[in-house]
Amino acid sequence: MRLKFSLTFLLLLFFSTNVIANIIQTTVTANELVNGGFEDNNVANGGWMWTSSDNVNGWDGSNIEVWNNLFGFGAFEGTNYIELNAHGSGKSYSIYQSFYTDAGAIYDLSFAYAARRSTNEAFSVEVINELGDSILSVEINDHSIKQWQLYQTQFIANSALTTLRLSTISLGTLGNLIDNITVVSREFLVQQVSISGTGCVFIFASMLVLFRRKQRP
């Protein structure tokens, strides 16, 4: 009886572990953005590269400067991140990405940011619908020098195609380090919580039944 109970418990544990692993894996791939962490470009540890946005998967706009642990400052997530004030003339830089959305759906937007050399660095973040109307517009101006901070907000999509755009406010070629930009549907998150909760209830109920059976004389 004890062996049977142990085997059943191990099977339930295996099942619960796989449920949790599948949820985590799905969550990781739930980002509506392509290459939100700028990991698709191969940059040597301690190095950097600058290139046209055409060469950075998912993104359009100005040149993009990709860093990997440059000057000993590591990424917020993964290995790569960008400096929004890309290499070139001292002008305003802007990068953007368009992605499909469901009108009326709520989306969570988050990203990490840090200053390269000055707490006065600033950039703007805009969410724009397919007609060019602004859904969200914020100025990020509370940087800490080489210390990642996480910005999180929400927006409600009102078109089938939405664009996220980041633009420099502090002109020049130095400043505005950014990493791990994510856009996740709130509906997706609710579905994952529901799946997770169902799995946990099933596991708990099954173990309770087995425990009661084991207690019978």
Sign of the dihedral through C-alpha 154, 158, 159, 162: negative
Q: Residue 113 carries which side chain, given as an amino acid letter? A: Y
List helix spans (H) across 67-140.
none
Helix (H, G, I), strand (E, B) or coil at 117: coil
Residue-level pLDDT at 42: 96
Residue-level pLDDT at 217: 54
CA distance 122 to 171: 9
pTM, two decimals, is: 0.74
Identify which of 95, 98, 100 has the alpha carbon closest to the alpha carbon of residue 81. Answer: 95
Mean pLDDT per segment of 10 residues, for the chain of length 217 residues? 49 47 48 97 96 95 95 97 86 93 96 94 97 97 95 97 95 92 79 48 48 52
To which residue do tokens 């990020």 refer? 140
To which residue do tokens 């830089």 refer? 93
Q: Which two tokens stand for residue 206?
A: 């099954």
Residue-level pLDDT at 30: 87
Strands ordered across the beta sheet of 161-168: 60-61, 94-100, 161-168, 123-129, 134-140
CA distance 61 to 194: 39
